Amino acid sequence: MIDVKHLTKTYASTTAVDDLSFRVEPGQVTGFLGPNGAGKSTTMRLILGLATPTSGQALVNGRPYREAPEPMREVGALLDATAVHPGRSAYNHLLALAATHGIGEIRVAEVLAQVGLTPVARKRVGGFSLGMQQRLGIAGALLGDPAVLMFDEPVNGLDPDGVRWIRHLMRGLAAEGRTILLSSHLMSEMALTADHLVIIGRGRLVADTPLSDLTSAY
């Protein structure tokens, strides 16, 4: 579970996140919807402890993520800029990440299979398409078998097959009881993927509602 409480983040001239409160519950996909610049990435970075809040707090399973004893087993995240060595194979990239977090090599093969990259596991990631890079990033997020997952705009730049694949993966992860926060600026995509919507604009909460409340009238 993710619990965001009165979270505010102010940069020199911008309030990126403005007194934002919401919860992300297990067993469903929570779509985090808002236009570009609304504060979605900043909120995710605050939840991961990659930025410090100006005020308020974000708790993951009841405590700040930075205090989690085994962070990668607690939260998996796909953020926009995941650093990879272009010369490394997909397998070795994941193996290095696993080793850093005390995760066994067996998981590397498992997550590669889960994201459909087994056939290219030994290829250099420098030659990967955007869709393959997204899959690799998602494989990294899944390595620790975390109960909580956050994906920042994972369908950006993907072809229709890739978009459908992400949708199917998100539904499957939620069905396993995981807590999923999925950001997007596309209402049309969230209507197909999410169970619950947290909508923000200019860093502020606009709506926090089951998707069914928005669609059942039609």
Binding site for ligand ADP (CB under 6 A): 11, 14, 16, 34, 36-42, 50, 71-72, 75-77, 100, 140-141
Minimum separation from the CB atom of position 218 to ligand ADP (A): 27
Cβ atoms of 94 and 140 within 8 Å: the answer is yes
Tokens of 176: 């396993």
Cβ atoms of 29 and 179 within 8 Å: the answer is no
Which candidate, 33, 36, 42, places its Cα nearest to that of 15?
42
Minimum separation from the CB atom of position 96 to ligand ADP (A): 10
CB closer to ligand ADP, 31 vs 34: 34
CB closer to ligand ADP, 11 vs 113: 11
Minimum separation from the CB atom of position 86 to ligand ADP (A): 16
CB closer to ligand ADP, 9 vs 119: 9
DSSP annotation string for 67-91: G-SSHHHHEEEE-S-----TTSBHH
Alpha carbon of residue 41 to chain centroid: 10
Minimum separation from the CB atom of position 203 to ligand ADP (A): 7
CB closer to ligand ADP, 31 vs 71: 71
Minimum separation from the CB atom of position 100 to ligand ADP (A): 5
Give the dihedral of Cα atoms 109, 112, 114, 120; nearest 10 deg: -130
Query: Distance between CA atoms of 117 and 122, rounded to whole angstroms?
Result: 10
CB closer to ligand ADP, 48 vs 109: 48
